[in-house]
Amino acid sequence: MAPEIEKLIEAAIVELAEGPHWDAETQSLYFVDVTGQYIHKYVPSTKKHTKARIGKNVSFIIPVQGKNDQFVISTDREITLITWDGESEEVSNLQKLYEVDENIETAINDGKCDPSGRLWAGIEHILGNPSGLYGYVKLN
């Protein structure tokens, strides 16, 4: 049997869809529109799609385990904690946790968490500056 492929989001809705993250607890797919500056949530069982504008380039969204409506996102060079109900078009409580490579033209490209909760983020170079990989230890 050939695999079945389903187009989830129309191209007109996103400029650059990246950073998909499946949340088993909510049975939802989170992803970002990097250059469109939105975070997205898609629920396959209902086909419901919601999004919220961030206002900066964003390369990943990861739910915070055990914290309802809290997510870690990247915004340009920053790791940011946000509150989002997954429904509204606005986020609240943006809290900068860390900024990488201050005063150097780089940007966070992608990020994932390992099973112990550490965040690993890749850095892309801009204008010839060095790339890198960062590990961010979770806060208790």
Quick one: average pLDDT of 20-45?
94
Q: Between 10 and 118, where is the model more confident?
A: 118
The per-residue pLDDT for 10 is 65
Query: Is pLDDT at 40 greater than 70 in this prediction?
Result: yes
Number of H helices, E strands in the chain: 0, 11
Instruction: Give the number of other CB atoms < 10 A from CB of residue 75.
Output: 20
Quick one: average pLDDT of 15-31?
93
Give the separation between CA 5 and CA 135, rounded to whole angstroms. 34
The per-residue pLDDT for 72 is 95
Query: Is pLDDT at 87 greater than 90 in this prediction?
Result: yes
Q: Are strands 38-43 and 92-99 parallel, antiparallel or unpaired?
A: unpaired
The pLDDT confidence band at residue 129, using thresholds 50, 70 and 90, is low
The per-residue pLDDT for 60 is 95
Handedness of CA 15, 20, 23, 27 (dihedral sign): positive
Distance of alpha carbon 61 from the chain centroid? 2
Question: Is there a binding annotation on residue 18?
Answer: yes
Quick one: average pLDDT of 110-118?
87
- Residues ≥6 apart with Cβ < 8 Å to 24: none
The tens digit of pLDDT for each residue in 56-72 reads 999 999 999 889 899 99
CA distances from residue 46 to 29, 32, 41, 43, 64 in whole angstroms, order as listed = 12, 20, 12, 6, 23
| Cβ atoms of 60 and 30 closer than 8 Å | no
What is the phi/psi pair of residue 67, to 5°?
-120, 105
